[in-house]
């Protein structure tokens, strides 16, 4: 299988910047496409901060951080993705936006062997594949945040994904990015989110009902169950908008009440209290 060396990442939020960083640290040529100049500047700063934290923690040297940053280029023009061998979509968790993006990428990326991947955490991959003329080359690569620190990637092939594409994507993730892969079914939430989302939503309902405060729930799960972080703090880290979107997708598919986003979560998203990324969620990060 031809080695993937030219990677495109669409979106440079928390997930997109993390994917770009791990690819660049693995000596790949990375092109990041964003929607605006302000997003470009914010993405660059997000990457610099993350690399700086890795240097401070001793995970990489300052020279390694500089070299990784030098391998990442940015653009607001999606047409520059034309030569990429792998493009990973990491935009907002909105099905319509993702369908539009895959329609565009299908027209732009010229390499007939290129893989079009999505980092979606809830949308069935086959829906994205069907809007392209190469459904066999579309796959899900669900990274976990923070991407530089979490070793797992869920690999999701749809009913239309070619076996060779799945094998090539798995080889890339394990041999180049040195991450662990589990193959997940092409259904909303896949494996990990199908398990953890009901847990996080149950914790939010507990807070919503006044049964316990966020810090009490979190302390209980950390001290009583040896979880590294409590469910409300984890929800803040994931992003409450993302959690709400995933819960809604799961509920739409399965109609199970445990997947339905609680009213408290919906109100917090409506008021832009999205967690750590906006400075306030169940906790204040200002």
- Which residues are known to be catalytic? 121, 142, 154, 193
Interhelix angle 240-254/263-270, rounded to 10 degrees, is 130
Interhelix angle 192-208/263-270, rounded to 10 degrees, is 90
Residue 3 CB partners (closer than 8 Å, separation 6+): 176
Distances (CA, A) of 218 to 109, 145, 221: 45, 19, 5
CA-to-CA distance for 106 and 134, rounded, in angstroms? 7
Q: DSSP of 184-236, one letter per residue?
A: --SSTTTTHHHHHHHHHHHHHHHHHTTSS-HHHHHHHHHHHH--SS-HHHHHH
CA-to-CA distance for 123 and 131, rounded, in angstroms? 14
CA dihedral 30, 172, 176, 174 (to 10 degrees): 140
* Sign of the torsion angle spanned by Cα atoms 68, 153, 58, 227: positive
Per-position b or e across 98-126, b if 16+ CB within 10 A of its CB: bbebbebbbebbeeeebbbbbbbbbbbbb
CA-to-CA distance for 19 and 9, rounded, in angstroms? 7
């Amino acid at each position: 299988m031809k080695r993937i060396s030219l990677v495109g990442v669409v979106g440079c939020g928390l997930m997109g910047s993390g994917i770009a960083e791990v690819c660049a640290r693995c000596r790949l040529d990375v092109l990041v496409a964003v929607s605006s100049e302000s997003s470009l500047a914010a993405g660059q700063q997000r990457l610099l901060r993350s690399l700086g934290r890795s240097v401070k923690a001793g995970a990489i040297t300052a020279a390694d951080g500089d070299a990784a940053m030098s391998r990442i280029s940015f653009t607001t023009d999606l047409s520059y993705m034309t030569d990429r061998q792998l493009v990973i979509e990491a935009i907002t968790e909105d099905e319509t936006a993702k369908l539009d993006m895959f329609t565009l990428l299908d027209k732009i990326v010229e390499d007939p062997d290129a893989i079009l991947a999505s980092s979606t955490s809830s949308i069935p991959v086959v829906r994205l594949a069907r809007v392209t003329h190469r459904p066999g080359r579309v796959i899900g690569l669900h990274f976990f945040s923070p991407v530089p620190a979490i070793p797992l990637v869920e690999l999701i092939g749809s009913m239309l994904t070619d076996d060779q594409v799945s094998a090539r994507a798995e080889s890339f993730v394990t041999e180049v990015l040195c991450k662990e892969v589990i193959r997940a079914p092409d259904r909303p939430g896949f494996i990990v989110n199908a398990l953890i989302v009901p847990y996080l939503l149950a914790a939010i309902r507990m807070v919503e009902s006044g049964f316990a405060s966020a810090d009490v729930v979190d302390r209980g799960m950390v001290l009583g169950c040896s979880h590294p972080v409590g469910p409300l703090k984890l929800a803040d880290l994931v992003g409450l908008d993302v959690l709400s979107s995933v819960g809604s997708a799961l509920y739409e598919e399965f109609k199970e009440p445990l997947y339905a986003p609680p009213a408290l979560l919906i109100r917090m998203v409506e008021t832009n209290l999205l967690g750590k990324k906006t400075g306030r969620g169940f906790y204040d990060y200002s």
